[in-house]
Amino acid sequence: MSEHETLLIQVEDGIARITIHRPQVMNALSSQTLEELSRALRQIEGDSAAQCVIITGSGDRAFASGADLDEITDLNSAQGRDLSRKGQALFSSIERFRLPVIAAINGFCLGGGCELALSCHLRVASSEARLGQPEVKLGLIPGYGGTQRLPRLIGRGRALELLLTGRMVSAEEALRIGLVNQVVEPEELLPASLELAGKILKNGPLAVRRCIEAVNSGLEMPLEQAMELESLLFGMCVGSEEMKEGIEAFSAKREPRFPRKETHR
């Protein structure tokens, strides 16, 4: 993969790990970081060795502390709208990414950093993590999808409380309200994230991909239409080589050996 100035990227055992590497500013999301993240995801998508993605932050102080405020201060309204759309497009591409994406949240996960975590499919947090959307304290609102993804994830009332007060929540509270899937000790964050990715990798990659599609698309549809989508995707799985291998392995009481070639994406 090409070099990145603000990211570290590693692909090993089917798992691509993206580390936001701006520790001097608590991994704030600059425009360059957003551009590099977009480019890195395109590269990973074209890498047949990658089957799952983990996004984390460098060091133990922050996953990502938010947008780079130095870049926002002098923007006018139109430029602000353009910046918002750029971030929204990137985070929507993560939400729709064909591979599962896990956020490994270490330390502060605020503003744009929280919006990045919200766009990932699963979230594992260090017990030291702190999450929130404090934009109102700066006279702003979340602009990368936070006002829309947060209520869809934790409910309207809880989301509005966090958005209107700008308060941070602990990892334990985040777990209780459904903002994260798992909380572990700081030293276990990466191992736990890798373990979660490993559990996903044991399953049929086509089925995993279509689960993501069914949930993402179905949530935006009326229930009846969403059920039709589920039936369509289910039918696409039935009779596939992946399904045949899964049933054969189950019957033989062995681990399945699912095909992972490009043709199954």
Q: Note whether 95 and 24 are same-domain residues.
A: yes
pLDDT at 264: 38
Q: What is the pLDDT along the chain (265 residues), one digit of tens a residue?
A: 557 899 999 999 999 999 999 999 999 999 999 999 999 999 999 888 899 999 999 999 999 998 888 889 899 999 999 999 999 999 999 999 999 999 999 999 999 999 999 999 999 999 999 999 999 999 999 999 999 999 999 999 999 999 999 999 999 999 999 999 999 999 999 999 999 999 999 999 999 999 999 999 999 999 999 999 999 999 999 989 999 999 999 999 999 999 775 433 3
Q: Is residue 30 part of a domain?
A: yes
Residue 2: its pLDDT value, please?
A: 56
Does residue 188 share a domain with residue 211?
no
157 occurs within a structural domain: yes
Indicate whether 53 and 115 sit together in one domain. Answer: yes
Instruction: Please name which of 19, 5, 9, 32 lies closest in space to residue 59, comparing C-alpha atoms.
Output: 19
Give a yes or no: residue 58 inside a domain.
yes
The residues carrying an active-site annotation are 115, 135
Instruction: Give the pLDDT confidence score for residue 69 in this predicted structure.
Output: 87
**Under a CB-based contact definition with an 8 Å cutoff, are residues 242 and 207 in contact?**
yes
Give me the helix-helix angle, 205-218 and 223-237, nearest 10°. 170
Angle in degrees, CA 97, 101, 102, rounded to 5? 165
Do 70 and 186 sit in the same domain of this protein? yes
Last residue of one domain, picked from the residues 162, 185, 201: 201
Q: How many domains does the chain have?
A: 2
Whether 131 and 212 share a structural domain: no
User: What is the per-residue pLDDT for 68?
Assistant: 86
CATH number for the domain including 36?
3.90.226.10
Q: Looking at the structure, tell me whether residues 170 and 41 fall in a common domain.
A: yes
H helix intervals, the chain: 31-45, 77-95, 112-119, 146-154, 156-165, 171-176, 189-201, 205-218, 223-237, 241-252
CB 108, CB 128: distance < 8 Å: no
**pTM tops 0.85:** yes
Provide the terminal-to-terminal Cα distance of the chain, rounded to the nearest Å.
20
Q: Which of 165, 183, 201 is the last residue of a domain?
A: 201
180 with 248, same domain: the answer is: no
pLDDT of residue 261: 54
Say yes or no: 85 and 132 in one domain. Answer: yes
Q: What DSSP character marks residue 120?
A: S
Residue 231: give its domain's CATH number. 1.10.12.10
Task: Print the domain residue range for 113.
Answer: 7-201
Indicate the average pLDDT of the chain.
94
In a shared domain, residues 83 and 122: yes
With respect to residue 1, please indicate whether it lies within any of the assigned structural domains.
no
* Same-domain check for residues 164 and 183: yes
In a domain, residue 151? The reply is: yes
Q: Specify the amino acid at residue 257.
A: R
Domain boundary (201, 224, 254) is at: 201
Question: Residues 99, 54: contact at Cβ < 8 Å?
Answer: no
- Pair 210, 252 in one domain: yes
21 and 138 share one domain: yes
